[in-house]
Amino acid sequence: MATDLVLLPGRAAPTAPLIAAIETLAAAAPFRRLQTPGGGTMSVAMTNCGSWGWHSDTRGYRYLARDPLTGCAWPAMPAAFARLAGEAAAEAGFPGFVPDACLVNRYEIGAQMGAHRDFDELDLRQPIVSVSIGLPAQFLWHGEQRRTRPRVVELRDGDVLVWGGRARAGYHAVRRLTAPDLLTHGTTPQGLELRYNLTFRRAK
């Protein structure tokens, strides 16, 4: 794995309490499929919690203090989320990480995320902590150039990926989510037929 891209396998397990918290916050700030600046619709549904929420529409990418769907502030970040993110960052070598934004991604079967860089935060010395929940996914690390053939990182339920330093500005993507292989998985975690990803950032 690239330097400064640190996988903490199972660090967020068990994920049932995280799923319950996601369902609670999604009741206040519903999942929605955002428009891309180019006019397309993302296949991943998103919502946020914390002081800032990541948003995309035809005007571009940015952080907003209020949910444009409801006009309300984003739901507060659960204390357990902030603690998990801070502890995982410290274990990966980034002490003092205090997230003010948590983007919640929901992938149904068939959803994917194209290659991108996370570049909308003010201080790129701050890491990102990413928590995977539910179905496994293949995370694709391209690195400095979008066209570089990616390294594949399998992200499973409860895995935490911490990302910072020289890796912070790298291109990455998530391969199209496929139906679980019942031979290798038996049943899906908690019967979840989808994947959630929490990405904790310091936006401002």
Contacting positions for Fe ion (CB under 5 A): 118
Binding to ligand MD6 in span 51-110, by CB under 6 A: 105
| Contact pick of 11, 99, 199, 203 for ligand MD6 (by CB under 6 A) | 199
Q: Provide the token pair at 91.
A: 């274990």
Site mask for ligand MD6 (CB under 6 A), range 147-186, x = bound: --------------x-x--------x-x------------
Decide: is 47 part of the binding site for ligand MD6 (CB under 6 A): no
Residue 163, contacted partner among Fe ion, ligand MD6, none, CB below 5-8 A by kind: ligand MD6
End-to-end C-alpha distance for the chain, whole angstroms: 28
CB 177 within 8 A of CB 121: no
Min dist CB 130 to ligand MD6, Å, is 3
Q: Which is nearer to ligand MD6, 78 or 132 (CB)?
A: 132
Q: Which is nearer to ligand MD6, 94 or 139 (CB)?
A: 139
Contacts 24+ apart (CB under 8 A), 76-82: 76/49, 76/50, 77/49, 77/50, 77/51, 77/102, 78/21, 78/25, 78/49, 80/17, 80/18, 80/21, 81/18, 81/21, 81/49, 81/198, 81/200, 82/200
Decide: is 126 part of the binding site for ligand MD6 (CB under 6 A): no
Q: Provide the token pair at 89.
A: 């960052």
**CA triple 50-51-56, angle to 5 deg:** 85
| Contact pick of 18, 63, 130, 159 for ligand MD6 (by CB under 6 A) | 130
Residue 103, contacted partner among ligand MD6, Fe ion, none, CB below 5-8 A by kind: none
Binding stretches for ligand MD6 (CB under 6 A): 105, 113, 118, 128, 130, 139, 161, 163, 172, 174, 197, 199
